[in-house]
Amino acid sequence: MTQSAISAEDLCKRYGKKIALADFRVDIPRGTVTAILGPNGAGKSTFMRMITGMVRPDRGTVTVFGRKPSWKTNASIAYLPDRARWFGGHTVRQAVEWGAKLLPGFQTDRAWELIDMLGLGADQEVAGMSKGQEARLMLAVCLARDVPLLVLDEPFSGIDMLSREKIVAALIDSFSERSQTVLISTHEIAETESLFDYAVFFAEGRNALSGDVEELRARRGSVQDIYRQLYG
Amino acid sequence: MNIGTFAHLFKHEFRMDIRRMYARTWFWAYAAVILAVLLVALGVWGGRSGFNPQYLIYFMYAFPFFMIGVGHRALNREWSDQTYGWWLTLPYSRFRLLLAKFAASLVQGMILGVIAFGVLLVLVLYTSLLHGKGLGEVADFVQIELQYMLVTAAAVPFMTALGMAAAIIWRSKAKGLLPLIWIVFGTLGNIFNWINLYTRPEKSESTVLLFQHGIPPEVWAVLAGMWLLAGGLFAVAVYICKKHLIV
């Protein structure tokens, strides 16, 4: 039996009257690149925030490699938050130093390789960067960590096509070198479908469908087709 | 606590606002213009009794309130700059993350306080040299500054913790408690003034000294109490950040 990297049992979370997660259950296998899919407000970001211990469930349990999420488990997780910005006073060099000093598993040489590959320079100031450049810097900080779990919440949101292509290339490069478990939440399915081994489709806080991408394709068509069937 | 990572967290927090301040050329322009105007005005009118630079020390009453802003800003900027996702998922306890912010804010405040006291002392020295009142006046002013420093040292940790607690409560399920906190703060805020009224003789000559007949023992008790309260408020901020934050 495949061991779970992340396991959720009857997760519930409300924000006032809005239900973010409703009896959500899932088992995400170790070593897979998993797509976290669904329309806006389906509960994807809440689930990812629960994995990092930022949000606590009202009910139910979630475990990351068998442990309850907390600041301690974050030593094993590289997390790219959604709608995040990088620290405005930093240069790229200072961002790398920040990662090296504060993030366990951060590999400085790997960070510089990624920064070079993503077309950024050491002395570039974050304050003067485009959204795409800033997104590439944040992704480089995450991918430079040699940790068992990588959680990327909408890494392509609001980013131009060229930056997206560079990011996808960096992801493919990174995944081929390491045996990490990776979760990516995205709406850019066409550009990223080839990355995924496993997919979880969220609908109104529930697990509408999940499984091995090859098996899903054999049964129901491409990931894009399944997305249309579920939410169209 | 791992001192190494705490030192890095502290350095990161300390530099964030310092960088912003350096970058604000208008801030330095204002400071230079105000200082130039003061030097000219003191040069011309500094000898007159109604135009004594010692009175500028009353500005220090605003300093602890300024520290509420510093503490509040240290927390709030994570949301206004959209960096809270990075900050809250660092693999360090909320206690350590908040302590780094608290310590950095205190040190920033202390540096600004020392600069402000230093500038005032220079202005008093400048006036004394120009208008020939002698260095005795400067020595008196040092005594005044020490009293104000004591009150500032008592109030600053409490005000910084209050600013931080207010910022974190605003982002939590306990948001409704915030008006109550400000009401309690407003009621207790004049505690030093009350002590001084109690200890000051009814007919006294006009002076900027806070305590004319030495520092009353109650002040030391209040100082210790304020630091305890600061610790309590900090503990509240940590607890809310840990258990009740809404993100």
pLDDT at A39 over 90: yes
- Number of A/B CB contacts below 8 angstroms equals 61
Residue among B8, B15, B86 minimizing CB distance to A84: B86
pLDDT greater than 90 at residue A164? no
Q: Which residues of A touch B16 (CB under 8 A)?
A: 87, 89
Q: What is the nearest CA distance from B171 to chain A, expressed in angstroms?
A: 13
- What phi and psi values does residue B209 have, to the nearest 5 degrees? -60, 135
By C-alpha distance, the chain A residue nearest B15 is A89
Amino acid B106: pLDDT: 94
- Residue in B19, B82, B94 closest to A84 by CB: B82
Is the minimum CB–CB distance between A31 and chain B shorter than 8 Å? no
CB contact under 8 A, A89 and B94: no
Question: pLDDT of B127-138, one tens digit each?
Answer: 888 887 777 778
Cβ–Cβ contact A48 with B under 8 A: no
Which of chain A's residues have a Cβ under 8 Å away from the Cβ of B83? 84-87
3-state helix, strand, coil in chain B (%, to 5): 80, 0, 20
The reply to whether A45 touches chain B by the CB within 8 Å rule is no
How would residue B190 be classed by pLDDT, with cut points 50, 70 and 90? Answer: low
Q: Could you tell me which residue, B45 or B210, shows the higher pLDDT?
A: B45
Average pLDDT, chain B: 84
Residue A53 at interface with chain B, using a CB cutoff of 8 Å: yes
Which of B158, B166, B157, B168 is CA-nearest to residue B94? B168
In this predicted structure, what is the pLDDT of residue B159? 92
B81 in reach of chain A (CB within 8 A): yes
A77 in reach of chain B (CB within 8 A):
yes
| Contact A102/B at CB under 8 A | yes
* Average pLDDT for A142-148: 95
A137 has pLDDT over 60? yes
The pLDDT of residue A169: 86
* A220 in Cβ contact with A55 (< 8 Å): no
Mean pLDDT of B51-60: 78
Cα(B124)–Cα(B126) distance, integer angstroms:
5
B56: helix, coil or strand? helix
- Tokens coding B49: 């009794």
Segment (H or E) for B63: helix B63-80
Complex ipTM above 0.90? yes
- Specify the number of domains making up chain B: 1
Nearest chain B Cα distance for residue A74, angstroms: 5
**pLDDT for res A97:** 96
Say which range, A35-44, B18-27, B108-117, B171-180, has the weakest mean pLDDT: B18-27
pTM of the model: 0.89
Indicate the Cα dihedral angle A183, A185, A186, A187, nearest 10°.
Answer: 140
8 Å CB contact of A102 and B8: yes
Q: How far apart are the CA of A16 and the nearest CA of chain B, in angstroms?
A: 10
Band of pLDDT at residue B201, cut at 50, 70 and 90: low
Q: Most A CBs within 10 Å: which of B10, B24, B88, as the mutation test of the A interface?
A: B88
Q: Is the pLDDT confidence value at A6 over 80?
A: yes
| Residue corresponding to tokens 């959720």 | A8
B140 pLDDT exceeds 60? yes
Identify which of B8, B15, B88 has the shortest CB distance to residue A101: B8
Is there a contact between B209 and B200 (Cβ–Cβ < 8 Å)?
no
Chain A hits for B89, CB-CB cut-off 8 Å, are 52-54, 74, 77, 79, 81
- Among chain B residues, the shortest Cα distance to A87 is held by B83
Backbone angles phi, psi at A211, to 5 degrees: 165, 180
pLDDT at A69: 97
* CATH code for the domain defined by A4-231: 3.40.50.300
Query: Sorting pLDDT into bands at 50, 70 and 90, what band is B141?
Result: confident
Chain A neighbors of B6, CB-CB under 8 A:
none
Query: Is the pLDDT assigned to residue A63 strictly greater than 90?
Result: yes
Asked if residue A216 has pLDDT above 80, the reply is yes
Among residues B77, B148, B70, B78, which one has the least CA distance to residue B106? B70
A83-92, B53-62, B191-200, range with the lowest pLDDT: B191-200
What's the rounded Cα separation, in Å, for the pair A4 and A29? 4
Helix (H/G/I), strand (E/B), else coil: B96: helix
Query: Does A128 contact B at CB distance below 8 Å?
Result: no
Of A49, A85, A104, nearest to B81 by CB-CB distance is A85
* Residue of B10, B14, B5, B212 lying closest to B91 (CA atoms): B5
Range of the domain at B24: 3-243
Shortest CA distance to B72 belongs to which of B168, B152, B6, B154? Answer: B168
| 3-state secondary structure (DSSP) of residue B48 | coil
pLDDT bucket at B43, cuts 50 / 70 / 90: confident
Judged by CB atoms closer than 8 Å, whether chains meet at A84 and B83 is answered as yes
Chain A residues with CB-CB distance to B94 below 8 A:
71
